[in-house]
């Protein structure tokens, strides 16, 4: 559902748009609250972080001291209330592993992940549009071959693709580094790996929308009144085909964190995914929760952006939104 | 439409055939044949493919082919069970929400949105931390993370069914809700459910592999494709066969699942037109 975008077209419904945006915000507020609460209690079920903090040789006194220091000795419901009240003031707590503020830890790891995710999104999207437009706009031997390749690629999980890319480009050919984030060349393989999580579904969706768009009346009309092939593709077919693809992009944003975690693990990349795994290993609750909240907000943002883009691309969606 | 349905049938048969072939080979070699995926010969570590071990051996001298086949049973069954669990939870909640509406539907919608908003990997880490690693935990985890997609799609479709005249008519003649769900909704939802299940199965294969690869799903040393690929990482230079066998297995199985999904989808599409 588009949250914005309609204000620009019809100023008369500006108030309604504002109300819609407010409702959306309230909705994400409730969601974050439910998610945080669920995570809080689930994480407390998993074990006692004080044992992890104190180490295996700690005495009972040391354990008690650590519990007192981190407030882990209080009743669970008191801990929960205190956590929530701090959260409302923007305080995500302190990382049990490093002693740094949890939010700072997460925000420091995030840029490295975004530096992979955003180029990967863009790369997948651009490649998918090019490939999809070509695949959908006719039939030929070359196209059938490429469809087959895309089908195989769709069956290749990102982490398998990543490992095979390392095998080929970093080891057999030794063209590119396989580990770490040092310089531009080290971005190539992880970005390609992450893009492969997204590319096949996007390509197949665009190809099928392009194929369908060629059957639509307005495209047939454009062809009938003498529009060139290029005009038909770029002015009539593609904008339409992109609507579904942008919507899918929003949905795939949620997938990116899992994809990023796997990719970062394979390539030893110091991002949020690596942070999530290492934090999970030592039960660093505040950091895990901060990651969950930040990611939930990012996914929400991506979906809102996708909705706005869909509304801008698709007059039907725009009209539907205004009718609400 | 004859050509189209022939292609659809071919995809369907090919995909199903591949899955069956992998499953029977796995059962025949590992469970009936008694080949042990965990026994290794340390004198024969990292041996290249050859007469002794057709696909080579790993860092502990274990047969890569036998381990890959053992992983086949593990992964296919886990993905199948996880798909079934997600379908069961997701569809039941969708039907309940569609029939009862009101506050119940709102609560279900909130649950759907919460689970979708929570990063799946975080839930997976937590659930596995609570109930431990192993085959059943991975099935439960994947089911618990992925059911909302079924709820979303099936709810939308059920609501459109609910508005149909024949459903309203059945209600008027006094059919119970349960009867309407069992005899009107479920048969009409069957095509969607089958297609979704096939594609979900593919996603579950990938997810199980990724979780195992990250060391989150299968116990250390268990013969699963993800574990094998994680084991292979330090040896990509000296023993690439350790990586290639499980990688090929996972790719072939996901392609088979996608073939089934595409075949079913185009078969149902043709029937409708």
Nearest CA to CA, how far is B118 from chain A (Å)? 6
Domain contains A16: no
Chain-chain contact of A292 with B202 (C-beta, under 8 angstroms): no
Chain-chain contact of B236 with A167 (C-beta, under 8 angstroms): yes
* Average pLDDT for A162-190: 74
Q: What is the pLDDT of residue B26?
A: 82
Chain-chain contact of A277 with B209 (C-beta, under 8 angstroms): no
Q: What is the pLDDT of residue A2?
A: 46
Q: Based on the fold, state whether residues A65 and A106 are members of the same structural domain.
A: no
Chain-chain contact of A163 with B117 (C-beta, under 8 angstroms): no
CB under 8 Å to A212, separation ≥6 — which residues?
none
Q: Based on the fold, state whether residues A36 and A145 are members of the same structural domain.
A: no
Domain contains A267: yes
Q: Report the distance separating Cα B40 and Cα B159, nearest Å.
A: 56
Domain edge (last residue) among A63, A88, A113 = A88
Residue with tokens 């982490």: A159
Model pLDDT for residues B101-135, shown as the tens digit of each residue? 889 998 998 888 888 777 777 778 777 777 777 88
| Structural domain boundaries, residue A106 | 102-323
Which residues in A lie closer than 8 A to residue B233 (C-beta atoms)? 163, 266
Domain contains A7: no
Q: What is the mean pLDDT of chain B?
A: 83
Q: Report the distance separating Cα B159 and Cα A246, nearest Å.
A: 26
Nearest CA to CA, how far is B171 from chain A (Å)? 30
* Average pLDDT for A22-40: 80
Q: Based on the fold, state whether residues A136 and A253 are members of the same structural domain.
A: yes
Q: What is the pLDDT of residue A312?
A: 75
Chain-chain contact of B110 with A277 (C-beta, under 8 angstroms): no
Which residues in A lie closer than 8 A to residue B18 (C-beta atoms)? none
Q: What is the pLDDT of residue A8?
A: 47
Chain-chain contact of A46 with B130 (C-beta, under 8 angstroms): yes
Q: How confident is the model at residue B151 (pLDDT cuts 50, 70, 90)?
A: very high
DSSP-assigned letters across all residues of A28-68: HHHHHHHHHHHHHHHHHHH--HHHHHH-TT--HHHHHHHHH
Q: How confident is the model at residue B272 (pLDDT cuts 50, 70, 90)?
A: low
Q: Based on the fold, state whether residues A202 and A277 are members of the same structural domain.
A: yes
Q: In this structure, what are the phi and psi dihedrals at residue A97, rounded to the nearest 5 degrees?
A: -85, -45
Chain-chain contact of B122 with A291 (C-beta, under 8 angstroms): yes
Q: From B259, which residue of chain A is nearest by alpha-carbon distance?
A: A151
* Average pLDDT for A130-143: 83
* Average pLDDT for B263-268: 87
Model pLDDT for residues B186-198, shown as the tens digit of each residue? 888 998 899 999 9
Q: What is the pLDDT of residue A318?
A: 59
Q: How many structural domains comprise chain A?
A: 2
Q: What is the pLDDT of residue A11?
A: 44
Domain contains A228: yes
Q: Based on the fold, state whether residues A37 and A140 are members of the same structural domain.
A: no
Which residues in B lie closer than 8 A to residue A299 (C-beta atoms)? 117, 119
Q: What is the mean pLDDT of chain A?
A: 77
Nearest CA to CA, how far is B196 from chain A (Å)? 15
Q: Report the distance separating Cα B109 and Cα B97, nearest Å.
A: 8
Q: Based on the fold, state whether residues A45 and A173 are members of the same structural domain.
A: no
Share above pLDDT 70 across residues of chain A, in percent, rounded to a whole number: 83
Q: From B256, which residue of chain A is nearest by alpha-carbon distance?
A: A155
| CATH code assigned at A113 | 1.10.3720.10
Q: From A29, which residue of chain B is nearest by alpha-carbon distance?
A: B114
Q: Based on the fold, state whether residues A109 and A195 are members of the same structural domain.
A: yes
Q: What is the pLDDT of residue A233?
A: 77
Q: What is the pLDDT of residue B193?
A: 92
Residue, of A42 and A324, whose pLDDT is higher: A42
* Average pLDDT for A103-122: 88
Domain edge (last residue) among A32, A59, A88 = A88
Q: Which of B223, B247, B243 is nearest to B235 (CA)?
A: B243
Q: What is the pLDDT of residue B253?
A: 92
Residue with tokens 């955003």: A118
In this complex, the residue of A47, A262, A299 whose CB is nearest that of residue B129 is A47
Share above pLDDT 90 across residues of chain B, in percent, rounded to a whole number: 18
Which residues in A lie closer than 8 A to residue B255 (C-beta atoms)? 151-152, 154-155
Chain-chain contact of A262 with B113 (C-beta, under 8 angstroms): no
| CATH superfamily of domain region B2-32+57-272 | MetI-like (1.10.3720.10)
Share above pLDDT 70 across residues of chain B, in percent, rounded to a whole number: 89
ipTM metric: 0.73
Model pLDDT for residues A247-291, shown as the tens digit of each residue? 777 777 767 777 788 888 888 888 888 888 888 777 788 888 888
pTM of the model: 0.81
Domain contains A15: no
Query: For B34, how many CA atoms within 13 A lie in the half-sphere containing its CB?
Result: 0
Which residues in B lie closer than 8 A to residue A161 (C-beta atoms)? none
Model pLDDT for residues A208-246, shown as the tens digit of each residue? 888 887 777 777 788 788 777 777 777 777 777 777 777
Nearest CA to CA, how far is A12 from chain B (Å)? 31
* Average pLDDT for B180-191: 88
Q: Based on the fold, state whether residues A307 and A227 are members of the same structural domain.
A: yes
> How many cross-chain Cβ pairs, A to B, lie less than 8 Å apart?
117
Q: How far is CA A235 from CA A129, A205, A287, A310, in A?
A: 14, 19, 47, 16
Which residues in B lie closer than 8 A to residue A38 (C-beta atoms)? 114, 118
> What is the SS3 assignment for A184?
coil
Domain edge (last residue) among A65, A88, A111 = A88
Model pLDDT for residues B34-86, shown as the tens digit of each residue? 667 777 666 666 666 766 666 677 777 677 788 888 888 889 999 999 999 99
């Amino acid at each position: 559902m588009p949250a914005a975008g309609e204000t620009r077209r019809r100023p008369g419904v500006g108030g309604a748009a504002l109300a819609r945006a407010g409702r959306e915000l309230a909705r994400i507020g409730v969601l974050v609250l439910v998610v945080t609460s669920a995570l809080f209690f689930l994480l407390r079920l998993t074990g006692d972080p004080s044992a992890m903090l104190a180490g295996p040789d700690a005495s009972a006194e040391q354990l008690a001291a650590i519990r007192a220091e981190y407030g882990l000795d209080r009743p669970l419901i008191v801990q929960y209330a205190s956590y929530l009240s701090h959260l409302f003031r923007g305080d995500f707590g302190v990382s049990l592993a490093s002693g740094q503020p949890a939010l700072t830890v997460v925000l420091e790891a995030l840029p490295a992940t975004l530096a992979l995710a955003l180029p990967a999104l863009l790369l997948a999207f651009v490649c998918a549009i090019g490939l999809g437009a070509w695949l959908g706009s006719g039939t030929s031997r070359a196209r059938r071959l490429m469809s087959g390749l895309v089908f195989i690629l769709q069956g290749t999980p990102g982490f398998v693709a990543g490992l095979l890319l390392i095998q080929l480009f970093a080891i057999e050919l030794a063209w590119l580094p396989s580990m770490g984030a040092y310089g531009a060349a080290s971005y190539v393989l992880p970005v390609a790996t992450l893009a492969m999580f997204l590319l096949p579904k996007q390509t197949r969706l665009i190809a099928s929308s392009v194929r369908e768009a060629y059957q639509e009346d307005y495209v047939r009309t454009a062809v009938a009144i003498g529009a060139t092939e290029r005009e038909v593709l770029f002015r009539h077919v593609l904008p339409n085909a992109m609507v579904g693809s942008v919507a899918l992009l929003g949905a795939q944003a949620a997938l990116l964190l899992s994809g990023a975690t796997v990719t970062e693990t394979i390539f030893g990349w110091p991002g949020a995914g690596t942070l999530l795994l290492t934090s999970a290993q030592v039960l660093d609750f505040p950091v895990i929760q901060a990651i969950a909240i930040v990611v939930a907000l990012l996914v929400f943002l991506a979906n809102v952006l996708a909705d706005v883009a869909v509304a801008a691309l698709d007059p039907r969606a725009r009209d539907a939104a205004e009718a609400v | 439409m004859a050509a189209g349905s022939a292609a659809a049938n071919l995809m369907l048969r090919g995909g199903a055939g591949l899955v069956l072939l992998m499953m029977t080979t796995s059962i025949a070699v590992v469970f009936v044949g008694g080949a042990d995926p965990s026994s290794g010969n340390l004198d024969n570590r990292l041996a290249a493919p050859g007469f002794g071990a057709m696909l080579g051996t790993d860092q502990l001298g274990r047969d890569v082919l036998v381990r890959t086949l053992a992983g086949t049973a593990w992964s296919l069954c886990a993905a199948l069970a996880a798909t079934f669990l997600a379908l069961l939870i997701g569809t039941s909640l969708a039907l309940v929400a569609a029939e009862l509406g009101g506050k119940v539907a709102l609560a279900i919608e909130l649950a759907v949105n919460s689970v979708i908003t929570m990063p799946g990997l975080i839930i997976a880490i937590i659930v596995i931390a609570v109930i431990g690693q192993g085959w059943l935990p991975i099935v439960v985890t994947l089911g618990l993370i992925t059911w909302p997609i079924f709820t979303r799609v099936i709810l939308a479709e059920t609501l459109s069914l609910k508005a149909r005249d024949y459903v309203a008519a059945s209600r008027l003649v006094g059919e119970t809700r349960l009867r309407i769900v069992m005899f009107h909704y479920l048969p009409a939802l069957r095509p969607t459910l089958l297609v979704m299940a096939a594609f979900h199965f593919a996603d579950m294969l990938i997810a199980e592999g990724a979780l195992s690869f990250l060391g989150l799903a299968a116990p250390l040393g268990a013969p699963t494709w993800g574990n094998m690929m994680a084991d292979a990482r330090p040896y990509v230079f000296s023993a690439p066969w350790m990586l290639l066998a499980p990688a090929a297995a996972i790719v072939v199985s996901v392609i088979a699942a996608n073939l089934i999904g595409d075949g079913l989808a185009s078969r149902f599409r043709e029937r409708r037109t």
